[in-house]
Every structure is written in C-alpha cells, then in structure tokens.
Structure 1
Amino acid sequence: MKLAEVYLSGIGTYVPATTGVEAAIEQGWMTAEDAETSGLTGAACAGETPAPDMALWAGQEAVARAGVEPESLDVLLYADNYHSGPDGWFPQFWLQRHLVGGDLLAAQLRQGCNGMFGALELASTYLIARGGGTAMTVASDNSTSPLVNRWRCLRPDFVIGDGATAVVLNTTSGFARLKSASSITVPELEGMHRGDEPMFPPGATIGRFMDFAERIDFFGFENRDTMLHSGLNLLKTRSELIDRVLSEAGIGIDEVSRIAYNHGSRKYVEDGLLAMLGIPLEKSNWDFGRGLGHLGASDQVASLANMLGTGQLEPGDHVLMVGIAPGVSVAGAVVEILDVPEWAGPVVPRA
C-alpha cells in the first residue's frame, strides 16, 4: 500500500543482556555444529523481566524521542508472539495505564513475526482515515519458558531472542517517512507451523513443548507435493511483495541503501534473500542480529534504529524492511530517511 504523508518521529528499543552460544553449547541447549553452521553468536535473554515492562520502556523512549505527550496519541497497537501475562489479560492496557492514558483505541495484534508490519500498516491507515494524528506501534516478547528451548526450536537457522521496540507515527513530520507497507499470505502453508498438534487443547495449557522445527519437519514429510508447490509459491509471493512495496515507494532495488530482514543464520539471510536481490551481506542487518537472536516482531525496527545510530544511514537513503512469519505471511515496508536525529545511537543490550 502506498502511503501519503506518514512519518516516523520516534523509535524506542529495549534489548536485554545476551547469552553467548558457548554457554548454550555447554548446557546442551544447542550443538556446536548448529552454532558453527549458522554463524549465530548469541541471544538476548530477558529472564524474569515481563514483556509488557520491556514494551513500556521502549514506548517511553519512543515518545520522548518523538517529543510528544503520551496522552496525545490517537491509537496504540501492540504486537506479540508468546504469552505476555495472565491468560485473559491484555498487555496493551498495561501501556495505557502506565504510559498513554485511556482515551484512545488500543488493540493487540497476533500476526507472529510480522506483527510490527501489520501494526505500521493499520496505524497508518487509521491516521489517514481520520485526517491526521499520532500513533504508537509496539512489539514485545519474552520467550523464557520451560516449554521453549530458544536455541533449538527453530533450528538450524534461528535462535529466539527477547526484546521490545516502539515506533511513534504522525502525519506531519519526522526523521523518516514510511512510504509503503504491505503483506501477503500463502495460506496453503498454514499447517507448516502447526504440524500434527491439535488445536485444542492449546499446547501451553497442558505443558506441551514448543518445537517449530518438529512441526515443520512433520508438515514437509506428510505434504511433500504441497510443500514443493507452495514453497515455490512462497518465493514467488515474496518477490512480488518486494516488487510491490518498492514500486509503491517509487524506487527500484538499486536505490535501496540497507535491508532489514528476520534475524537468522547467514545462509538464511544471504542465500535465502540477499542473493535474489543482488544485495551484499554488509548492506543487511545480519551482523547486528546474529548476536541477539530472532526478536519476534521487533527485528526490523530494532535494526532500523541501530542502522540510524551507527552511521549506516543518511538523509535520502531508503531502507527496505522484509519479514516472514507463520501463516505463512510475507510483509514489507520502505522507509526513507529524512534526517539523522540527535538521539540516534547504537542499540546496545542492557546489562
């Protein structure tokens, strides 16, 4: 979707301290072979820090950098993947109580790793439809759980990291312009992340271990023809999605200065996407993400903040953000840098 006059005025991040792969190998959580093959070096681990707290801290940083009063926001969209608190309780209202107040629409998105893309697209259209205003999109996850082995549940291309990001959008001005955002789903691959698990009772309610690798293996074994056909369709769909957001932004792939993708192995990022686009690894977020792990819906925004704060971007540059998530959905967005704000700095894990 082509967007008219939607700007990013603030970004906030919260990334907890990291645990290196050496410790994971010593504990038997990860094999040395997987670590060497993937090139991944660690994961941000939040421990007992609640995901809504990380969302609050990222949101506080975002509104401070945007120079807006939290109470002036018109919509709040909160994306997450894993359990954020007690069942039947919703984390966006935590942010309303402690940050933004009650006089706005607050909603939770469950779009997996593409949650921030969906939030950016929906928040932008909400602001355009109402003739202007200010929005916040937030993503936060803490996957620390005895039911999750963050080092192996997505092997061999991912380890799961924890963290939060927040973006303040408005329709008047900012350090960057959101020029396009869109998503497409390949629904015949819905079962790839479900495997042979029943939908009821939900696995977490009966203590079932979460293992995406096992589910994907089962789906591929049971659905060889579907996997082959749909896998090729997924590659085609992702290519179409990228072409769409670039066209809507009015640029070509040669005008992309940096690309931000899901944090994953070098092979996943380089062979799986960059080679297709003709973009070298050093123009991607791989080196940044390899030590943090896959931060749920926060990978691309955290990477954008880090690129901005480490001298990788200057006014006039375009950043292509691409994501893939269970569904299977693919999403993308193009951001044009208008200014490098004084607050920009490297995204550093908190001690």
Structure 2
Amino acid sequence: MRWQGIYVETASVVTGEPQSAAAAVAAGRYSAEEAARSGQRSVAVSRDLSGPELAVAAGRAGLRRGGRAAEDVGLLVHAACWYPGLEFWNVAAYVQQQVLGHGRAVAFELRQMSNGGMSALDLAASRLQAVPGTGAALLTTGDRFAEPAFPRWTTDRGLVFGDAGTAVVVSRDPGGFRLVATSAYSEPELEGLHRGDEPFLLSGSEAGPLDLVARKKGFLRRMPTAEVTVRNETGMMTAVKQCLAEAEADLSGMAAVIVPFFGRELLDRQCLAPLGIPAERTLGDWGLDIGHLGAGDQFAGLARLLDTGRLRPGERVLAVGVGAGFSWTCAVLERV
C-alpha cells in the first residue's frame, strides 16, 4: 500500500541495563560457542520494570519528544510477545490509562509476535486514512524476558532476547518520517516452528521454562530444514519486493535498512544474504549490545536513527519486520 500524508512523527526506546555476554558465559548461562557465533556482546535486562511498564515509559517519552498532547491521540495499539506480568488482563487499556489518561482513544492489543510493531504501523496508517478524525496514533511495544520462565540466553539459538519498551507516534502532521509504503505477507505453514510437539495446556502456570530449540526440533521432524529456509526467505523477500514496488524504489536507494536484532550469524543467514546487503547498512551492530527486543526492534531502530542523526532529509529507510507464525511486514519511510 502506498500512503499519502501519513507520518511517523517520532520514535522512542527505553531499554533495560546492559548485561554482558562474557558474564553470562562465565556463569554458565550462555555457551562460549554460541557467543562466538552470535557475536552478542551484551543484552538489555530490566530488573524492575515489567514489559507493560517499559511500554508506558517509552510511550510517555515518545509524546514528550514529539510535543504531542495525550489528548490528541485517538488510537493506541500495543504489541508484545511474552508474559505481561498478569493473566487475564488488558495490557492496552493499562498503557492507555498510564500514558493517555483518557477514554477517547480506541485501544487494541496486537499479538503478532516479533512482527507486532510493524503490523501495528500498517494498521494505524489504515485507520488514520479511513477515519480522519482519529487524530494521532500511539503505537507501543514492551517485553521483559525474565528468567527462570524465559531463559533469555539459551531458549533459542542465534539470538538473545533483550528487555525494552518502544513507541512511535503516527499522524497526518508532517515530521520525523513520511510513511511512503507498507506491505505484508504471511506463511502459516511455518506456524509450527514455534509450537513444535507441545501439548495445549490449561494454564500458563503448568508450563516449564520456555525451550524454543526443542520446539523447533519437533517441527523439523515434519518439515525439512531446507524447506523452512526457502519458505522463510521467500516470505521476507515477497514482502520486501512488494513494499519497494509500492514505493517506486529499490533497495540500493535505501540509506539504511532496519532488520531484526539477531546475532551475527543468524542475521547474515536470514536477512543480509537474501537482501544482498552488508551489515553496515543496518543497525545490526547496535543489536549486538541490546539483543532482540521482541516486537520492538524496528521502532527502536527508528529511534536510533533519530538520535544519531544518521539520515538527512529526503533519505529513505526500509524497515523489515519478521514474526513467528510466520508473518512479514515492511515499510519504506522518508526522513522529513
């Protein structure tokens, strides 16, 4: 979809404190071999704030940064991947109350795994266009991958999970980034990659520590690794090519590409090699300091680009979201 008059006014990120990979290796929580393959130097760890509280902090920071009044926000979408701290609870309503403090906004919670932030951006643009009286949209993400339920260093291979809240403000008022185009694609045949052979339980309290490696092994007994790789690459490239076509642009014209914050080896295999770009064109090196932020990598990347002043007016960035399920959402944005 090509957009007219939709802007990402600002972006913010609030991360936990850095915890070094070397310390995790020394404590026996992370293997030296995996550390060498991933190149992960550290990861963001929140000791006090839950995922929803991190999202609230990022949402407040985003409104302050853009000078946007909470009363102007008519849509809130919150995305996350992991346990929010309580069962049977509306996290979006909590973020709405804590950040906006009024009920004139429509608030949704979105569950699209690590593609949640990008999916929220696509949905927000649609609502802003369809319902002009919406005003501004606040999109937040927030996750705390706390142990022992979530062994952040070992639950998966090729990446380490970091704690953070992120936010973007989207509106029709020029500023920040102009949203040029978005696209989305899904491959539900890969859904089982994060389910494996696990039974459905009556309650989350029955579950032990999350082990994504074991789940993937279960799925790979049904689908060959080579087929998974082809389907994964095809899905991402389909979304990327469609987005670039909608934007009437090509990859070489992007001043930066925001891809998920995976470890070095996984990032190269799943993102850089298919896209045909070097790591230097991405924010992957920063990701080796903070880890994979669940649904928030791309919003954090936009905040980083604003903080560093890396883009000049008129330069464009491609943001690529990848989520278990599997789904991909891409966006081309232009610095205003």
| TM-score after normalising by structure 2 | 0.95
* C-alpha displacement of 1:175: 1.6
Code of the residue aligned with 1:113 in structure 2: it is S
Q: Does the aligned pair in 1 maintain the 2:9–2:177 contact within 8 Å?
A: yes
Q: Give runs of ≥4 in structure 1 deviating > 6 Å.
A: none
Q: Does the aligned pair in 1 maintain the 2:78–2:141 contact within 8 Å?
A: yes
Corresponding position of 2:280 = 282
Are 1:323 and 2:321 an aligned pair? yes
Q: Residues of 2 paired with 1:304 and 1:10: CA distance? A: 8
Q: Tell me, what secondary structure is at the counterpart of 1:259?
A: strand
* C-alpha displacement of 1:83: 1.2
Code of the residue aligned with 2:142 in structure 1: it is S
Q: Does the aligned pair in 2 maintain the 1:289–1:303 contact within 8 Å?
A: no
Q: Does the aligned pair in 1 maintain the 2:182–2:331 contact within 8 Å?
A: yes
* C-alpha displacement of 1:230: 4.6
Corresponding position of 2:152 = 150
Q: Report matched runs for 1:1-351 at 5 Å.
A: 1-100=1-100, 101-131=102-132, 133-155=135-157, 157-202=158-203, 204-224=204-224, 227-338=225-336
Code of the residue aligned with 2:198 in structure 1: it is E
* C-alpha displacement of 1:237: 2.1
Cα-to-partner distance string for 1:296-326 (whole Å, 9 max, x where unaligned): 0111111221122223211111111112111
Deviates more, 1:167-176 or 1:89-98: 89-98
Deviates more, 1:2-11 or 1:158-167: 2-11
Code of the residue aligned with 1:72 in structure 2: it is D
Corresponding position of 1:346 = none
* C-alpha displacement of 1:287: 0.7
Q: Residues of 2 paired with 1:199 and 1:256: CA distance? A: 43
Structure 2 residue runs of 5 or longer lacking an equivalent are none
Q: Residues of 1 paired with 2:4 and 2:201: CA distance? A: 43
* C-alpha displacement of 1:233: 2.6
Q: Residues of 2 paired with 1:125 and 1:74: CA distance? A: 14
Cα-to-partner distance string for 1:59-110 (whole Å, 9 max, x where unaligned): 1111112212102101000001111132111121122222211111001001
Q: Residues of 2 paired with 1:52 and 1:188: CA distance? A: 31
Q: Tell me, what secondary structure is at the counterpart of 1:324?
A: strand
Q: Does the aligned pair in 1 maintain the 2:190–2:326 contact within 8 Å?
A: yes
Q: Residues of 2 paired with 1:294 and 1:57: CA distance? A: 19
* C-alpha displacement of 1:280: 1.7
Q: Tell me, what secondary structure is at the counterpart of 2:132?
A: coil
Identity of aligned residues (%): 32
* C-alpha displacement of 1:2: 1.6
Q: Tell me, what secondary structure is at the counterpart of 2:121?
A: helix
| TM-score after normalising by structure 1 | 0.91
Q: Residues of 2 paired with 1:269 and 1:192: CA distance? A: 18
Structure 1 residue runs of 5 or longer lacking an equivalent are 339-351
